[in-house]
Amino acid sequence: MPTRSPTSHDDDTRGEGTAQTGSVGAIGFMADPTRHLFFTGKGGVGKTSLSTAAALALADAGKRVLLVSTDAASNLDEMLGIELRNQPVPVPGAPGLSVLNIDPDTAAESYRQRVLAQMGPDASAQELATVREQLSGACTTEIAAFDEFSALLAEGAADWDHVVFDTAPTGHTLRLLSLPKAWTGFLDGNDRGASCLGPHSGLKMQERRFQAALEALADPAQTTVVLVARPDPGAIAEAARTSDELRELGLNHQRLAVNGVFRASERGDVVARAIEDLGRQALDHLPAALLALPQDRVPLRAFDTVGLPALRALLRPGAPPPAPATPAPTTADTALPGLAALADELAAAGHGVVMVMGKGGVGKTTIAAALALGLVQRGHSVHLSTTDPAAHLAVTLDGQVPGLRVSRIDPRVETQRYIDKIMAAKSPGLDAQEQALLLEDLQSPCTEEVAVFHAFSRIVGEGRSAFVVLDTAPTGHSMLLMDATGAYHRQMTREFEGHGAARIVTPLMRLQDGGYTRIVLVTLPEVTPVSQAAALQDDLRRAGIEPFAWVLNKSVLAAGTREPLLAARLVGERRQIERLSAGLARRLFALPWLTEPPVGFARLSQLVGDDHRVAPAGR
């Protein structure tokens, strides 16, 4: 693959390409594509759009292409207008292109059946039940999904010329890619015992497959890793961190794709110039790790990337864009309240848990930090914490605030703390060999799941006497944590069943209590983020958890811009506000797009001190 200097282009068409129908264009990662294209990056940067557009372009060029989603919160079904399955599904209107979604639940059940089958016909019903219970946790779901992913890299995609991977947000993807190394160390010379993944002897086959998958990913002749970012400091910083961590795993064949680069045509438009300036500043200060990579820039489009015409136009600037949509009729006739009004409602409870959830990249960390400051301003003590592996709370707050405690549930720290606690409690009654076996079992990667859950539960419990604001991981990873919460609830309920006098309060019960926990869903005024937040709301409701409110972040409706491209995007924004107002959100609040990033105490405080309002959806 050619490697162009990232500083060799300084005009507005940098890296755009001019592909014609039936050929692959000049976008760098499409010029000489390897068999595997692996797209990763921070949530919300456009991985799914770029990976799908790339797969479609390859198929249009006559290749047989399999597009694989490893994201539990994938929206490929909406983008392509098809029902995703755990088997390849042909895409109508795109000969040669098929899509496969690695469904975590389906993968986990298949994995359980394989492990149980390895136990043989002599296994008793009790032994089978014990192993099935061991295989009921979120860790099993995670490793099972990676097992499916590994099979495609190792031997399971021989019928395809190219396999394009649309991955989960960065923190979750890095966790998956690190599993082979973790399990290699844990299983080395260890054929006895069992873990949450079943008997250790049955894991050897998976271990070999995982190693083959990593070798394929690390082979530059087979795989190109495309780091996707937006012209935003947070997304760029995460891409740089991801680049370093992937190198540690041996994945060195990387490219940078900056999506959504904006150039203002109305030079006198303050909003348009501010958006352009912020993006240019971010790109002018690329970290060294990214400057060393070949780079592509994809311009911001006036349309949502839903449907084949839009996806084809994304990487082909010469292609006609989809016809603009007609604004939907609207019933909204009042301005949407801002974060100050939401902070007032939350503060009225006096204490409790506020969980900020949503798809990666929608601004959960900003909203969580602002609401925490709003509660402090209203006289409350607040613990602001994050369960996100790619946490950015410290950067967002940029300083200490009296009355506000900030923490992060660090998986490595919590795992070691949990191991130390178990060893201290059980070691006194064990001999040296038994202690060694116990420590060996606690080195299992599954221990991390348990440790993180215990930390999460501990922080949720603090809401009894103060406010806890939780900035959660991107959607798919958060639902794994919810699964662990549900599994613990079921276990405790079984253990205390029949003890009428016992009163247990599990973390799930606290989350289900609307007077104790308030879930705030954050989304952007675009089709895909709203649909994914709606799917998350459905998942929460199935768990008996009712969201308290929605926040529509980065609305440009009230900005008064004359920029043609931004004005065209407002059509879609009005549609999403109408969609939310029509019953999807019980309470709807909005945060306008800001000309200065809301970083630091002063700017975040303004968001909850002044009641910013967004103009009515129909105006």
Question: What does the alpha-carbon distance between residue 605 and residue 504 come to, in Å, rounded to a whole number?
Answer: 39
For residue 157, the model assigns a pLDDT of 75
pLDDT single digits (tens) 95-132: 999 998 887 777 777 777 877 777 777 778 887 777 77
- Domain co-membership, 277 together with 364: no
Give the distance, in angstroms, between the CA of residue 430 and the centroid of all CA atoms in the same chain.
42
* Assigned domain for 42 exists: yes
- Domain co-membership, 309 together with 365: no
Using N-to-C axis directions, what is the helix angle for 138-154 and 170-187, rounded to 10°?
90
- Domain co-membership, 36 together with 96: yes
Which active-site residues does the annotation give?
44, 46-49, 71, 528
Q: Domain of residue 604: give its range.
A: 339-411+460-471+502-609
Mean pLDDT of 35-64: 90
Q: What is the CATH number of the domain that holds 284?
A: 3.40.50.300
pLDDT single digits (tens) 220-278: 999 899 999 999 887 898 899 889 888 887 889 999 999 999 888 877 788 888 888 88
* Assigned domain for 574 exists: yes
What Rg do the C-alpha atoms of the chain give, in angstroms? 25
Q: Which residues on neighbouring strands pair with residue 100, listed in sequence order?
A: 68
- Domain co-membership, 282 together with 391: no
CA 298, 299, 300, 303 dihedral sign is negative
* Assigned domain for 416 exists: no
Contact 373, 158 (CB under 8 A): no
For residue 392, the model assigns a pLDDT of 60
* Assigned domain for 263 exists: yes
Residue type, 205: M
- Domain co-membership, 262 together with 172: yes
pLDDT single digits (tens) 151-177: 787 766 778 999 998 876 555 566 656
* Assigned domain for 615 exists: no
> Which one of 281, 314, 347 terminates a domain?
314
pLDDT at 573 over 90: no
- Domain co-membership, 98 together with 223: yes
Binning pLDDT at 50, 70 and 90, where does residue 480 land?
low
pTM (two decimals): 0.68
Mean pLDDT of 464-488: 66
Listed ranges 315-324, 517-526, 571-580; the one with the highest mean pLDDT: 517-526
- Domain co-membership, 92 together with 162: yes
* Assigned domain for 324 exists: no
- Domain co-membership, 245 together with 375: no
pLDDT single digits (tens) 500-556: 545 555 666 778 888 999 999 999 888 878 888 888 888 888 878 899 999 999 887
Question: What does the alpha-carbon distance between residue 166 and residue 102 come to, in Å, rounded to a whole number?
Answer: 11
Mean pLDDT of 582-609: 83
> Which one of 314, 331, 357 terminates a domain?
314
The DSSP call for residue 594 is -
For residue 26, the model assigns a pLDDT of 62
For residue 343, the model assigns a pLDDT of 95
Question: What does the alpha-carbon distance between residue 488 and residue 87 come to, in Å, rounded to a whole number?
Answer: 31
pLDDT at 191 over 70: no
* Assigned domain for 389 exists: yes
- Domain co-membership, 223 together with 161: yes
Mean pLDDT of 592-602: 77
For residue 58, the model assigns a pLDDT of 95
The chain-wide mean pLDDT, for the chain, equals 76
Query: What long-range pairs does 215-222 form, CB within 8 A, spacing at least 24?
Result: 216/36, 216/153, 216/154, 217/36, 217/38, 217/153, 217/177, 217/249, 217/250, 217/251, 218/249, 218/250, 218/251, 218/252, 219/253, 220/34, 220/252, 220/253, 221/34, 222/34, 222/35, 222/36
What percentage of the chain reaches a pLDDT higher than 90?
21
Q: Is 589 helix (H, G, I), strand (E, B) or coil?
A: strand
Question: What does the alpha-carbon distance between residue 7 and residue 105 come to, in Å, rounded to a whole number?
Answer: 45
pLDDT at 135 over 90: no
* Assigned domain for 454 exists: no
> Which one of 279, 314, 349 terminates a domain?
314
- Domain co-membership, 517 together with 464: yes
- Domain co-membership, 585 together with 542: yes
Mean pLDDT of 444-464: 78
For residue 481, the model assigns a pLDDT of 53
Q: Give the chain's domain count.
A: 2
Tell me whether strands 254-261 and 223-229 are parallel, antiparallel or unpaired.
parallel
- Domain co-membership, 171 together with 86: yes
